[in-house]
Amino acid sequence: MTRYLGVTDLQRLLGEIGAPTMLADLAGFIHQDFLRWQSFQKSARTANHSPEGVIELMPASDDTLFAFKYVNGHPRNPLQQLPTVMAFGVLAEVATGYPLLLSELTITTALRTAATSVLAARRLARADSRSMALIGNGAQSEFQAIAFMDALGIREIRAYDVDREATDKLIANLAPHIRAGRLQVVAANSVRDAVAGADIVTTLTADKSRATILTDDMIAPGMHLNAVGGDCPGKTELDARILERATVVVEFEPQTRVEGELQQMRADFRVVELWQVLQGLKSGRTDAREITVFDSVGFALEDFSALRYLLQRASAMNIGRQLEIVPRLHDPKDLYGHAMGTAPSLAITE
């Protein structure tokens, strides 16, 4: 039988574990898997593009487990009361191909994206960073704010969105942390206003266009840029001149060259992959005045880690239900007899 985790199950996990703990746990699982980067079969995601958005499949596997995620990116979806990003995923045994887990990944993608952002920022942001600009206050913004508050000690969020209602939503959702004195949230009047004085700048925009959300003159020495906004060919957020004077870290260079900020750069522009930094093979931040950029487009290994985590925690907490999505045959060669109901099935003991 295959364990199934739906949206309600994920809500229960979050409720019982707590968002800060779950974000920290996910960062730990992702870190573990990046430390054994060489053990994985990896590829850039397969994408089908349309004028409205993109639909993608993201696979990754080691010698024991295989994972894939179905995910979309449709910036105009909120006009139809649909999320910009929707996702689900499967975790299966490599030895047999048997699916162990079928899970929602819409909420989980936001969680693992924030966890990966923090994982990178620990090596790239200044240790004394206390203020973060959040440019784009949509579906991912609260996850990023809470992750950076708990893991990096961020105490001020400078929030800006072209839709002021999105910023108001962010402030309302972060109200418990504001009331507890753990966080201050300032609604900025412009991108420039939000970025001025920030130690970390996180971009979370979703328009499928070659935009310049951050211009070179906004970026001060010592800043860390966490470029997380929904990425695809033809979509950018940063002035190319920022990248030229920064240390740029990516997840999987072949994919980022196609989808990330690197689209703007020449083919020989040098970057560092995150696994190299985490394994100590390359440096992260080396100087307090250095500008660092995490050009994050999301990589399948992060979803592998998230699915592995979900299966472990859901099984231990007995959350979710069992689905018979693969037939259990008494005679594996008699699929027709099983389909017609004339052949016996194996007793289900799980």
**Distance separating alpha carbons of residues 141 and 11, to the nearest angstrom:** 18
CA distances from 254 to 181, 198, 221, 271, 296 (A): 43, 31, 28, 11, 13
- Is 231 in the active site? yes
Going by their DSSP bridges, the two strands 224-227 and 210-214 should be labelled as: unpaired
Residue of 9, 161, 231, 303 with catalytic role: 231
With a CB cutoff of 8 Å and minimum separation 6, the contacts of 332 are none
Which residues are known to be catalytic?
Answer: 231
